[in-house]
Structure 1
Amino acid sequence: MSAPIVIHRPSATAGRRVTIRGQIAGLAYDDQDVIEFLRRVGLPDAEQLLDDPSWVQWRGGRAHRYEAA
């Protein structure tokens, strides 16, 4: 089973698209944005999930980096 949260590669203009269970949650410019998206869908302990590969898959680029590609 793949992770339900995907943080996609950085865009050409900065920021990373975030999808949760296949639905676009928004464009994150830092970890706080991702945490807010996760809280909005009912994951109150979102901070602990960012480095858990069973929950979050970071695609392209380094984890926690949001600069333009």
Structure 2
Amino acid sequence: MTSATPVIVYPPDETGARRVRADGAILGLAYSVRDIVAFLQEAGLQDADEMDVVRSSMIEWRGGGPDVWEH
């Protein structure tokens, strides 16, 4: 994954999990911004942190922003 690759964070499901997708692949289910940071680090963005996730224009938040984790 490159830094220009858009990351899509889908709306929370009934458990509060949000599916995270990049490059057409599901990275996993996130229950917090920290989970998204971990996915990005595993995908090669080693320097990613929580503030990067909250502020990044490469992340498309669907169904609410980084503060929405309830269905």
TM-score (norm 2): 0.79
Structure 1 unaligned spans of 5+: none
Query: Which of 7, 12, 15 is 1:13 aligned to?
Result: 15
Which 4+ residue blocks in structure 1 deviate beyond 6 angstroms?
Answer: none
Question: Residue in 2 aligned with 1:49?
Answer: 52
The two structures, once aligned, show a CA RMSD in angstroms of 1.8
- Offset of residue 45 of structure 1: 2.4
Please identify which structure carries the higher strand content: 1
User: 3-state SS of the aligned residue for 1:35?
Assistant: helix
Whole-angstrom distance in 1 between the partners of 2:14 and 2:34: 20
- Calculate percent identity across the aligned residue pairs: 37
TM-score (norm 1): 0.81
Structure 2 unaligned spans of 5+: none
